[in-house]
Amino acid sequence: GDSRSDLRVAVIGLGRFGCSLGAELMRRGWDVLGIDSDAAMVQRMRDVLTHAATADCTDPEALDQLGVAEFSRAVVAIGDSLEASVLVASNLADAGVPHIWAKAVSRQHGRILERVGAHHVVLPEQDMGERVAHLVTGRMLDFIEFDDDYALAKTVAPACATGRPLGELRVRATYGITVVGIKRSGEDFTYATAETVVRRGDIVIVTGRTRAVETFAELV
Ligand code: ADP
């Protein structure tokens, strides 16, 4: 169906990842069909999700009976069993589901998932580990890395970015980053422009190449 009007997601595997994902989708007003081979996991999510069903999704027949082929989005949230994860992803691909996400436990697992037809692979443990490393070692308050070596960080403004308008300080040319927003204590976030003067102690949101963002956040 039309992916824009179809606000339904099938989540296969209701472990910690699948439950958290399903609950968040519900909060956002989406319909969620959660499936797990373990009836106890399904029971726990009964009142949270739109539908919850017990089935072994390595069986294409089971997916078919639950109508998963009609969904435009599905997530394979099985981590512990590599075999089940790969089989389920390939069943979804065979069923023609147009947007398949899958959780991988390793990069190799992720590559296999892509091979069998998953369109998007997520590596929650690795991604979160990298992100926390940035928070632990640096002055960053938050850090997100996107594909292609591009990052967004929240950090305390280094002295070299304060006192004069950002345009005059030429932070973009000097550090290769763009200050997107600033936050003073007790005030809301505001967008930064060339005229913005960042003060000592301000929190800034910066974007740019990962390395440039890291370097900028390490400046004092
Ligand atoms: P997490 O780390 O997010 O808790 P787990 O890998 O522990 O993830 O949980 C995955 C869930 O997927 C488990 O609840 C498990 O019962 C379920 N699962 C495993 N194999 C299948 C399958 N073939 N069909 C449906 N659900 C499955």
Report the atom number in ligand 1 closest to the C-alpha of 103: 3
Rg (CA), the chain: 22
Burial label for 126, CB within 10 Å (0-12, 13-18, 19+), is: middle
29 CA → ligand 1 middle, Å: 24
Domain count within the chain:
2
- Domain annotation covers residue 2: no
Q: How many whole angstroms separate alpha carbon 156 and alpha carbon 36?
A: 44
Q: What CATH number is attached to the domain comprising 116?
A: 3.40.50.720
| Cβ burial, residue 155 (10 Å; 0-12/13-18/19+) | buried
Q: What is the ipTM of this complex?
A: 0.94
Which of 122, 151, 177 lies at the terminal end of a domain, its last residue?
122
Q: How far is the CA of 126 from the centre of ligand 1 (A)?
A: 19
Give the CB-side neighbour count of residue 26, counting CA atoms within 13 A. 18
Q: Quick one: 66 and 131 in the same domain? A: no
Work out which ligand 1 atom sits closest to the CA atom of 20.
3
Domain boundary among 83, 105, 122: 122
Does 1 reside within a domain?
Answer: no
Distance 203 CA to ligand 1 centre (A): 40
What is the position in ligand 1's atom list of the atom closest to the CA of 17?
A: 3
Taking only the tens place, the pLDDT of each residue in 8-66 is 999 999 999 999 999 999 999 999 999 999 999 999 999 999 999 999 999 999 999 99
Mean pLDDT of 160-189: 93
Looking at residue 176, which CATH number applies to its domain? 3.30.70.1450
Q: Confidence class of residue 99 from pLDDT cuts 50, 70 and 90?
A: very high
Please name the residues in contact with 47: beta carbons below 8 A apart, sequence gap of 6 or more. Answer: none
